[in-house]
Amino acid sequence: MNIHEYQGKDIFTGFGLPVPGGSAVQTVEDAVASAKEYGLPVMVKSQVLIGGRGKAGGVKFCETVEDVKKNATNILGMDIKGHTVRTVLITPAVDIDTELYIGMLIDRNTKRVMLMASAEGGIDIETVAKDTPELIFKQIIDPRFGLLDHEAMEMGMRLCPDDIKRARQLASAMQKLYVAFIESDASMAEINPWIFTPEGVGHAIDAKVSLDDNAMYRHPDYEALRDLEAEDPSERAAREAGLSFVKLSGNVGCLVNGAGLAMATMDLVKYYGGQPANFLDIGGSSNPEKVVSALNIILADKEVKAILFNIFGGITRCDDVANGIIAATNSMDINVPIVVRLTGTNEAEGRALLAKTDLGTADTMDEVVKKAIELAG
Amino acid sequence: MNIHEYQGKDIFTGFGLPVPGGSAVQTVEDAVASAKEYGLPVMVKSQVLIGGRGKAGGVKFCETVEDVKKNATNILGMDIKGHTVRTVLITPAVDIDTELYIGMLIDRNTKRVMLMASAEGGIDIETVAKDTPELIFKQIIDPRFGLLDHEAMEMGMRLCPDDIKRARQLASAMQKLYVAFIESDASMAEINPWIFTPEGVGHAIDAKVSLDDNAMYRHPDYEALRDLEAEDPSERAAREAGLSFVKLSGNVGCLVNGAGLAMATMDLVKYYGGQPANFLDIGGSSNPEKVVSALNIILADKEVKAILFNIFGGITRCDDVANGIIAATNSMDINVPIVVRLTGTNEAEGRALLAKTDLGTADTMDEVVKKAIELAG
Amino acid sequence: MAIFVDDSTKVVVQGITGRDGGFHSSEMLAYGTKVLAGVTPGRGGQKFQDTVPVYDTVKEAVTNHGVNTSVIFVPPFGAAGAIYEAADAGCKLIVCITEGVPTVDMVKVMPYLEERGARLIGPNCPGLLAPGIAKLGILPTSIVKEGPVGLVSRSGTLTYEVVYQLSAAGLGQTTCLGIGGDPVIGTTFMDAIIAFNEDPKTEAFVMIGEIGGDAEEQAAEYIKANVKKPVVSFIAGQTAPAGKKMGHAGAIVSGGSGTAAEKKKALEAAGIPVAERPMDIVPALQEIWKK
Amino acid sequence: MAIFVDDSTKVVVQGITGRDGGFHSSEMLAYGTKVLAGVTPGRGGQKFQDTVPVYDTVKEAVTNHGVNTSVIFVPPFGAAGAIYEAADAGCKLIVCITEGVPTVDMVKVMPYLEERGARLIGPNCPGLLAPGIAKLGILPTSIVKEGPVGLVSRSGTLTYEVVYQLSAAGLGQTTCLGIGGDPVIGTTFMDAIIAFNEDPKTEAFVMIGEIGGDAEEQAAEYIKANVKKPVVSFIAGQTAPAGKKMGHAGAIVSGGSGTAAEKKKALEAAGIPVAERPMDIVPALQEIWKK
């Protein structure tokens, strides 16, 4: 789950990272009030779950109340790459001497958290990584010992080789960021930029944090950080129904058990010239209610012209799945054609059940995809 | 630093351990008010930094407000093994089905934290350890991984072999206690007893915690936990002056550099039939102010009839120490005889300086001790 | 005869009294897997299906039955704890089926496993099925067939699809291994490939990858340098949009990397055919194998 | 010729630019110890006393000078960090002089050292002085003398007292080692005794113990079973009251255990003479040695 800058900053603050104050507001009036509270100049920063806010005009420096009024008015409601700005962060503007980058993520190869830092802050770190990888310093963190003083100091001194005070601040910030990362079950946490004022005081002036969905049970309060308005309504419904779903722009709805098979099914739709409408993994369950939820989510998309089921009954028995599909479709009013491919455990029984309905059937994955594309027209 | 039960419980609560509510109060009126707030029955528990409070009559169960009044009146001001009760803890009385023991300490041999637990709770664990060591279960905790679920569960199941719900509560409590131990830099943390109510709900109804003096810089708020009134005034003065000091009951004051040498000096006083008045390590410094502080602390004890200095100048040079002693003694009005033994680096220079004063001197440790005993009479 | 398992594999199932654990333990037993004990704290002394003794701890299962392998079916919040317990008790192979384990838990557990020389498969994986030897996990036995092909996959049902096609074409398997699609997993593509390459019974193998990470790229490099056996691959997720998690926590194209196209390119550059469709895997394997 | 050090010992001093670190580095250099580098973050590029290069990190000192030993004089809050750094950089012997290091820090650092095969002496100790070979720490060189006696002690100045008496009696030392009086220390009595027992140059040795813990009792048991060399002991703190910390964090009689009387009893039961007074150590050693 990606969270907004202001939410990430709240987490950072909780772990002792130096973050300038700020208020997340949703109206121009509140923006002005906050600006007065913190004292001008302030930054007005759009809170959207997408990068490139600055280039899109979603981050503005304001010296006067008039500036705040004007920029908040412009930014609130602005569309940034398909994301509507509903909230802006009002935060005191700080003088910037240097901009640095500090980030942490899960490194799959070492199976550990990796710290990345660069003196090239404030810009897209992926560009730096691609063009000048030598400017990014990395440190793999042993979870048994955490980010040790000397490891953090070495990074700090690499970034600020001539200023031990700044190096120490960076080292301390990195150690706090690591604790924040682990304790909040992050999958990614970036401070870009970390800045130093001309006086040499460091601040985290941005925060990009992703939280691990699997760990939400440990952080019941983090559920409140989810921006429900920014979420696609169908993805939200799927999440609430416990389904893995991603909306796409095609017309062939796909209901598949298993993530890999679901992706392969989408790929096959494309291969045969069709356009998948979604990724949807209904998991191992044959529960009719889950099938109903899945169908409702897919049918909410008016572009969908045909629906395919691609089910490989391994553990789940095909007869159970067939019953689930039949119960679900019977309980609903469905106007688009459905074609079902069921194979694996108890395949014959499952097919026999489907044969008694008017649902289309197919023997193979290829066949179900081809039929669905044809039905979608 | 040992802290009171109520302070230990506050720490426990902060780490999620289940502790019944309670208020530490210093007057009978407040005791009654608290009892009314929590609802009767309550316990009135004397807060002193010594064991055996119960046997001494310092812990009472109260069913009525009258009971609270009577017991609080009795207990406040009570002397328990030389400790005056100034504070009582008023805490709701809980029904007790079982009493268990959970404790953690630093195990010098494995250099790790050791968890000890026993179904024999509520009584003196040292007695259990001596008489029936097989009733104490131990688990060494690897600091790299913490107290793992299965380690804690195994302990829980040993203590409550027939009740998995209780075992789980214990396991969770032990894991929280470990986190509390590490995060608060404890050197010892005991819950004795941990109790289960007849309904099977667990509570930590006592707390015995020692904090590591060396780690106080990490916990500036813990300094406020120090019970200054319970401290011997001279030990308090010594602590504030940065001196290691322990008051004893003899008449030979000892000023020594180094803890081992200071103990050996005390032992030697005893060996020759004298009684050391104190343990005092003035450390490696030759700072006259420190010597003044040390002398003031020793002279505050009116039993002291003679003072010896036993200084082995290793790093500290003897002439520096001699200057320190001379400056200190000159600045003070001292009525008891002093005898100084200085040896090691720059010994000759040091002795030459002392020779110009009327301070007594000695060549060896044996000699300085014998002379001091003689002077003490 | 297989990778990671053999006749000496003796199994304890952690979470044997749960719904999933019980069902799959029956299946494993039915396939002839030596499931000698189960573990559920608080259920010690019971018997699973009147035959398999249940213990409170893995340690007891090891002591009483010499089990060396654990298959874990416990809820996500207990999964890492179960892995620690299995490793601590001396299990050298641990298969964690549980889905939804927090990544930080896996990061923490890894060095513990390394210190004890224990191999983890998973979490969030279907486990391993070595036809004719043992089933450790949830792969359906009906679709497998003994034979010379190895299969390693980050997926579940897609694996079944491919195994089904292999078996239907008469290409039996030495081992079918699902390593799971989480960001941090015990046994990686690389580990499986090295094992298949060293396994004398495995004559060729299939790699089912998906978007996210660069395990396939690394495998490609390794195979190019070290593997003479025929290898065919498939990558799921060509149509997956960037920045979206496709079911598996690890299946995500982020920062423009981990795409199917990149993986395909790397594999092909290493001389490994990448099937366009699942159904192309068997013909591709047959073709490369003939050479 | 000594324990833990020899001619190959090359030293870096962490905290060389501090007051204590600087003073004792001069002393070590004056004794001929190969102090090849110093470390103070932010002072890299400077020189200590115009000769010894100072670096920002221990790693640089290792790379540039092949140092294998670190002596640490940094404040308590940085001490554990300095130990991690030294071990990580590859130092195999680390002497931490710093007093007042939190015990939990030491608990955490220990496995790190074990994993890297590094020996720690201290913290809160005077270090080691091998007459004629090297001085690592703060033991005064004026009182030592080369010879056949080993000395290990939990104390500082009491050690000097005893060394002084040994040297005065003509009994020179192979190594004088102060292990420190904290509850958790790197090198223990036992480690020192094993080393002295194995060191061909050490013909006899002296153990200076104090109240707290049971290191002396363990040593007694070991010596009884394994050591043929003459050993004499002394225990400080016979008059220490229970429950009071006597200067050293580890010097405390708690729960009635760790008393001087118990230690004395255990040592005597193992046939080790326990001197009543410091001045009795030399005669006791001379007597037992004659036999």
D59 touches chain A (CB under 8 A): yes
CB contact set of B155 (below 8 Å; sequence gap of 6+): B115, B117, B137, B139, B170, B171, B174
Number of A/D CB contacts below 8 angstroms equals: 34
Cα separation of B365 and A370, whole Å? Answer: 101
Residues D265 and D189 in one domain: yes
Q: What is the dihedral sign for C-alpha D69, D71, D74, D76?
A: positive
Q: Which residues of B touch D138 (CB under 8 A)?
A: 314-315
Contacts of A144 in chain B (CB under 8 A): 144-145
Task: Please tell me whether residues D212 and D90 are part of one structural domain.
Answer: no
ipTM of the complex: 0.95
Question: Which residues on chain C are in Cβ contact (under 8 Å) with A129?
Answer: 255
pLDDT of residue B286: 66
Give the per-residue pLDDT at A340: 95
> Are C57 and C148 in the same domain?
no
CATH number for position C116: 3.40.50.720
Which pLDDT belongs to residue A331? 87
Given a contact cutoff of 8 angstroms between Cβ atoms, the answer to whether D270 and D221 are in contact is yes
Give start and end residues of each alpha helix (H) in D73-188: 76-89, 103-116, 157-168
Instruction: Answer whether A307's CB lies under 8 Å from A336's CB.
Output: yes
- Where a domain ends, among C60, C94, C121? C121
Asked whether C125 and C156 are in contact (CB, 8 A), the reply is: yes
Q: What is the mean pLDDT of the segment spanning D212-224?
A: 95
CB contact under 8 A, A145 and B144: yes
Rounded Cα gap, residues B327 and B313, in angstroms: 18
The number of beta carbons lying within 10 Å of the beta carbon of residue C124 is: 26
Is D133 inside any structural domain? Answer: no
Residues of B in contact with C80 (CB under 8 A): 149
D77 at interface of A, judged by CB pairs closer than 8 A: no
* Shared-domain flag, residues D179 and D99: no
Q: Is C213 on the interface with A (CB under 8 A)?
A: yes
The Cα–Cα gap between C250 and C228 comes to: 29
pLDDT at A71 (0 to 100): 97
One-letter amino acid at C63 equals: T
On whether residue D135 sits in a domain, the answer given is no
Q: Is B235 exposed, middle or buried (0-12, 13-18, 19+ CB in 10 A)?
A: middle
> Band of the pLDDT at D166, cuts 50, 70, 90?
very high
Q: Does A160 touch chain D (CB under 8 A)?
A: no
pLDDT per residue as tens digits for the range C2-57: 999 999 999 999 999 998 899 999 999 999 999 999 999 999 999 999 999 999 99
Nearest to B150 among C42, C57, C111 (CB): C57
Q: Which residues of D touch B365 (CB under 8 A)?
A: 161, 278-279
Beta-carbon separation of A153 and D59 below 8 A:
no
In angstroms, the CA B8 to CA D215 distance is 30
* Minimal Cβ distance to B111: which of D184, D239, D256: D184
Question: For the segment A49-65, what is each residue's pLDDT rounded down to a tens digit?
Answer: 988 898 899 999 999 99
What are the angstrom distances between the C-alpha of D40 and each of A266, D18, D37? Answer: 59, 9, 10
Write the pLDDT tens digit of every residue in D87-112.
Answer: 999 999 999 999 999 999 999 999 99
Question: In this predicted structure, what is the pLDDT of residue D80?
Answer: 98
The residue with tokens 């796409």 is: A248
DSSP output for A213-248: GGGGGG-GGGGGG--TTTS-HHHHHHHHTT-EEEE-
Looking at beta carbons, which residues of chain A come within 8 Å of C164?
A: 312, 343-344
What's the mean pLDDT in A332-340?
92
**In this model, does residue C207 exceed pLDDT 90?**
yes
Q: Do A167 and D78 touch (CB under 8 A)?
A: no
Write b or e for each residue in C257-280: b if 16 or more Cβ atoms lie within 10 A of its Cβ, otherwise e.
Answer: bbbbebbbebbeebebbbbbebee
Specify the 3-state DSSP secondary structure of B330.
helix
Give the pLDDT confidence of B312-368 residue by residue, as tens digits: 987 778 888 888 889 888 888 888 999 999 998 788 999 999 999 999 999 999 999
Chain-centroid distance, C-alpha B88: 19
Residues D62 and D173 in one domain: no
pLDDT at B23: 96
Which residues in chain B (290-309) have CB-CB distances under 8 A to chain D?
none
Of C84, C111, C112, the CB nearest to B149: C84
Q: Quickly list H helices, B40-124.
A: 65-75
Measured CA to CA, the distance from residue D213 to residue B155 in angstroms comes to 25
- Min CA distance, B145 vs chain A (Å)? 6
Residue-level pLDDT at A286: 65
Total domains present in chain C = 2
Query: Of the residues D91, D121, D151, which one is the last residue of a structural domain?
Result: D121
Burial C128-141 (b: 16+ CB within 10 A, else e): bbbbbbbbbbbbbb
pLDDT of res. D237: 95
Quick check: C41 and B157 CB within 8 A? yes
Looking at residue B51, its pLDDT comes to 85
In the block, tokens 């190096």 appear at A167
Closest CA to C236 of A160, D61, A279, B324: A279
Mean pLDDT for chain B overall: 93
**Six-digit token pair at C6?**
């053999």
- Compute the nearest-CA separation of D64 from chain B (Å): 31
The string of DSSP codes covering chain C is --SS--TT--EEEETTTSHHHHHHHHHHHHTT--EEEEE-TT-TT-EETTTEEEESSHHHHHHHH---EEEE---HHHHHHHHHHHHHHT-SEEEE--S---HHHHHHHHHHHHHHT-EEE-SSS-EEEETTTEEEES--GGG--EEEEEEEES-SHHHHHHHHHHHHTT--EEEEEE--SSSS-SS-HHHHHHHHHH-TT--EEEEEEESSSSHHHHHHHHHHHH--S-EEEEEE-TTPPTT---SSTT---BTTBS-HHHHHHHHHHTT--EESSGGGHHHHHHHHHH-
Please state the rounded mean pLDDT for residues A77-94: 95
CB within 8 Å: A264 and C278 = yes
- Contact state of A164 with D58 under an 8 Å Cβ cutoff: no
How far is the C-alpha of A291 from the C-alpha of A300, rounded, in Å? 14
Distance CA A136, CA A118 (A): 5
Q: What is the 3-state secondary structure (H, E, C) of D44-67?
A: CCCEECCCEEEECCHHHHHHHHCC
The verdict on C23 and C160 lying in the same domain is no
C-alpha–C-alpha distance, residues C109 and C172, integer Å: 35
| Of residues B70, B91, B72, the one with CA closest to residue B27 | B72
Is D126 a member of any domain?
no
Examine the pLDDT at B245 and tell me if it is beyond 90: yes
* Neighbouring residues of A182: CB distance < 8 A, sequence distance ≥ 6: A113, A143, A146, C104
Q: What are D120-133's pLDDT values in tens digits?
A: 999 999 999 999 99
CA distance B144 to chain A (A): 5
Within a domain: C165:
yes
User: Out of B5, B99, B190, B347, which one is annotated catalytic?
Assistant: B190
Statement: residue A280 has pLDDT above 70: yes
- Residue D128 is assigned to a structural domain of this protein: no
**Residue tagged active-site, from C248, C253, C270, C275:** C248
For D184-199, letters b (16+ CB in 10 Å) and e give bbbbbbbbbbbbbbeb
**Residue B32 backbone class (left: φ over 0; alpha: ψ -120 to 50; beta: rest):** alpha
Q: Work out the mean pLDDT of chain A and round it to a whole number.
A: 93
- Do D190 and D105 have their domain in common? no
Query: Quick one: pLDDT at residue C262?
Result: 94
Query: Which phi and psi angles does A130 have, rounded to 5°?
Result: -80, -45
Tokens of B84: 């005056």
Report whether pLDDT(C256) > 80.
no
CA distance C41 to chain A (A): 22
Domain limits for position D68:
11-121
* Model pLDDT, residue B290: 84
In a domain, C147, yes or no: yes
pLDDT at B285: 63
Catalytic: A222?
no
* Mean pLDDT, residues C122-151 taken together: 95
Q: Which of B83, B178, B214 to mutate to test the interface with D (most CBs of D within 10 A)?
A: B214
State the Cα–Cα distance between residues A180 and A190, nearest whole angstrom. 11
Residue C88 sits in the same domain as residue C162? no
Minimum CA–CA partner of C191 in chain A: A109
User: What distance in Å separates the CA atoms of residue C120 and residue C106, rounded to the nearest whole number?
Assistant: 10
Chains in contact with B, where contact means 3 or more Cβ–Cβ distances below 8 Å, are A, C, D
Q: Which of C35, C32, C39, C80 is nearest to C59 (CA)?
A: C39
Is A246–C240 a contact, with Cβ atoms under 8 angstroms apart?
Answer: yes
- How close, in Å, is residue B236 to chain D by CA atoms? 14
> A140 touching C, CB under 8 A?
no
Are A150 and D57 inside 8 Å of each other by CB?
Answer: yes
Query: Which residues from A are below 8 Å from D81, CB to CB?
Result: 148-150
Cα separation, A60 vs A58, in Å, equals: 7
- Map out the domains of chain A with their CATH numbers: 21-92 (3.30.1490.20), 98-225 (3.30.470.20), 231-376 (3.40.50.261)
In the block, tokens 């925060």 appear at A207
CA pair distance D238, B264, nearest whole angstrom: 8
* Residue D57 domain flag: yes
3-state secondary structure of D6: coil
* D42 to A144: CB separation less than 8 angstroms, yes or no: no
The distance of C42 to chain B (nearest Cα, Å) reads 5
* Same domain (yes/no): C64, C22: yes
- Are the CB atoms for A295 and A328 separated by under 8 Å? yes
Distance CA A18, CA B6 (A): 34
Does residue C128 lie within any of the structural domains?
no
Same domain, C72 and C195: no
Q: How many CB atoms sit inside 10 A of residue B12's CB?
A: 22
Q: Could you report the per-residue pLDDT of B284-315, keeping only the tens digit for each?
A: 666 778 888 999 999 999 999 999 999 998 77
Put simply, whether B157 touches C (Cβ < 8 Å) is yes
Same domain, C170 and C99: no
**Rounded CA gap, A213 and C188, in Å?**
22
Q: CA-CA distance, B180 to B195, in Å (whole number)?
A: 19
- Which residues in chain A have their CB less than 8 angstroms from residue D59's CB? 154
Tokens of A150: 């000397």
CB proximity B209 to D under 8 Å: no
Distance in Å, alpha carbon of C64 to nearest chain A alpha carbon: 31
Residue A285 has pLDDT above 70, yes or no: no
Nearest chain A Cα to C109, which residue?
Answer: A143
Q: Annotate C58-86 with b (16+ C-beta within 10 A) or e (fewer).
A: bbbbbeebebbbbbbbbebbbbbbbbbbb
Interface of D with B in 113-172 (CB under 8 A): 126, 138-140, 142-143, 153-161, 164
Average pLDDT over residues B26-30: 97
Contact by Cβ (8 Å): A71, A44: yes
Indicate the pTM of the whole model: 0.95
Q: How far is A146 from chain B (nearest CA, A)?
A: 9
The number of residues in chain D equals 291
Shared-domain flag, residues D114 and D200 = no
* Displacement of CA D6 from its chain's centroid (Å): 15
Residue type, D31: Y
CB-based contact, A162 to chain D, within 8 Å: no
Q: What are phi and psi of D56, to 5 degrees?
A: -80, -30
Quick check: C41 contacting B, CB < 8 Å? yes
Chain A CB contacts of B145 under 8 Å are 144
Q: Which residue, chain included where needed, has tokens 């020389």?
A: C117
How close, in Å, is residue C88 to chain B by CA atoms?
9
CB C116 within 8 A of CB C12: no
Choose the final residue of a domain: D93, D121, D149.
Answer: D121
Interface of C with A in 190-209 (CB under 8 A): 208
- Which residues in chain B are contacts of C42 at CB distance < 8 A? 157, 164, 167
CATH number at residue C180: 3.40.50.261
Neighbours of chain C (3+ CB pairs under 8 A): A, B
Chain B residues within 8 A of D183 when measuring between CB atoms: 106, 108, 187
